[in-house]
């Protein structure tokens, strides 16, 4: 009733409201008939959906996190043609820095959509219901993402947070709206050259992925060798007959032992190669995955960087991301060795 009343007051004479769970439909069954031109939404976050809802999504993109399910739904329903659809969505910070399934979804988003702007909202926007930091994500279906603009919406002067009795107002967005049509980096605005970071990450991760493939290939060949040697042992064992002279039996048994030693050596090397592949893949994935951490902080708020040129700022950020990726790779290597 409140939703109907709000839409009527805002000029929608015949509002069409679906009060069911928007996630109840199977994602793969949605097509052009379900496309829309514009999506404006503040999906629920911090909660979990039931398994029956989760199963409506692709197996490698399934999660109980409501915000991530809505992100998939929004991407699926935005019109592709003739005029690309556009969306403005409220998401918590967790979506920006999340990994695993969240990172896969951000990879989909940045590959197929133009995530052109992220407005970082100040504290207390949704108080007292949640203190989780939130963001406005603006994206459309016009193509891949090349660069992402960030705008940190400041609190009004003298305020430390928004509250239920003193909530955010339209006028608080005035400077952001003015900046929107004439974008320049300033105290609140900065940009992330995602396409440049993507190319650099692929370049740095590829040697690790190639090393992993080489190790996996070697491990596969060693596994085949182990199988052949095992068959050879079986053949030798079958050749030991009751009527054979003891000397000949001893020779065969000696052969069997030698082949068993070869099997053990091959198995050890196979395990070593598989471990190398695992570690190299982890290093490559860590380098590549770092670019999908969209929780980018403003370089303008760091005094040490105040007088550095933009090129140096980008280089420093990329260097820090690479170091984080290396540390994550080392941690994964240690964890893998402990298994």
Q: Name the pLDDT band for 229 (thresholds 50, 70, 90).
A: very high
- What per-residue confidence (pLDDT) applies to 132? 87
- Residue spans of the domains in the chain: they are 2-192, 200-338
Pairing of strands 114-120, 148-152: parallel
Q: How far is CA 298 from CA 80, 96, 250, 306, in A?
A: 32, 14, 76, 11
Q: Is the pLDDT of residue 75 over 80?
A: yes
Q: Name the pLDDT band for 260 (thresholds 50, 70, 90).
A: very high
Q: Is the pLDDT of residue 225 over 90?
A: yes
- What per-residue confidence (pLDDT) applies to 308? 56
User: Is 236 within 8 Å of 259 (Cβ atoms)?
Assistant: yes
Q: Is the pLDDT of residue 304 over 50?
A: no
Q: Is the pLDDT of residue 302 over 60?
A: no
Q: Does domain 2-192 have CATH number 3.30.530.20?
A: no
- What per-residue confidence (pLDDT) applies to 221? 96
Lowest mean pLDDT among 10-14, 109-113, 209-213: 10-14
């Amino acid at each position: 009733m409140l939703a109907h009343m709000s839409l009527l007051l805002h000029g929608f004479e015949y509002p069409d409201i679906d009060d069911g769970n928007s996630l109840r439909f199977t994602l793969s069954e949605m097509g052009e008939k379900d496309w829309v031109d514009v999506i404006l939404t503040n999906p629920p976050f911090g909660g979990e959906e039931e398994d029956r809802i989760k199963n409506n999504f692709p197996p490698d993109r399934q999660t109980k996190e409501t915000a991530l399910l809505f992100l998939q739904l929004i991407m699926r329903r935005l019109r592709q043609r003739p005029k690309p659809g556009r969306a403005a969505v409220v998401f918590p910070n967790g979506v920006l820095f999340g990994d695993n399934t969240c990172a896969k979804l951000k990879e989909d988003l940045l590959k197929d959509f133009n995530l052109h702007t992220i407005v970082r909202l100040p504290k207390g926007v949704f108080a007292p219901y949640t203190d989780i930091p939130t963001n406005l994500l603006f994206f459309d279906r016009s193509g891949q993402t090349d660069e992402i603009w960030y705008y940190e919406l400041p609190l009004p002067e003298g305020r430390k947070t928004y509250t239920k009795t003193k909530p955010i107002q339209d006028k608080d967005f005035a400077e952001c709206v003015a900046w929107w049509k004439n974008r320049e980096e300033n105290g609140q605005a900065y940009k992330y050259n995602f396409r440049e970071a993507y190319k650099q990450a692929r370049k740095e991760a590829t040697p690790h992925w190639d090393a992993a493939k080489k190790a996996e290939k070697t491990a596969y060949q060693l596994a085949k060798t182990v199988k052949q040697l095992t068959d050879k042992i079986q053949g030798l064992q079958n050749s030991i007959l009751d009527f054979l002279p003891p000397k000949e039996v001893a020779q065969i048994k000696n052969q069997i032992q030698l082949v068993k030693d070869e099997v053990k050596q091959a198995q050890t090397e196979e395990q070593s190669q598989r471990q190398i592949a695992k570690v190299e893949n982890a290093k490559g994935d860590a380098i590549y995955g770092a670019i999908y951490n969209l929780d980018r902080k403003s370089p303008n708020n760091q005094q040490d960087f105040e007088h550095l040129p933009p090129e140096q700022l980008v280089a420093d950020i990329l260097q820090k991301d690479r170091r984080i990726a290396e540390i994550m790779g080392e941690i994964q290597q240690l964890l893998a060795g402990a298994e």
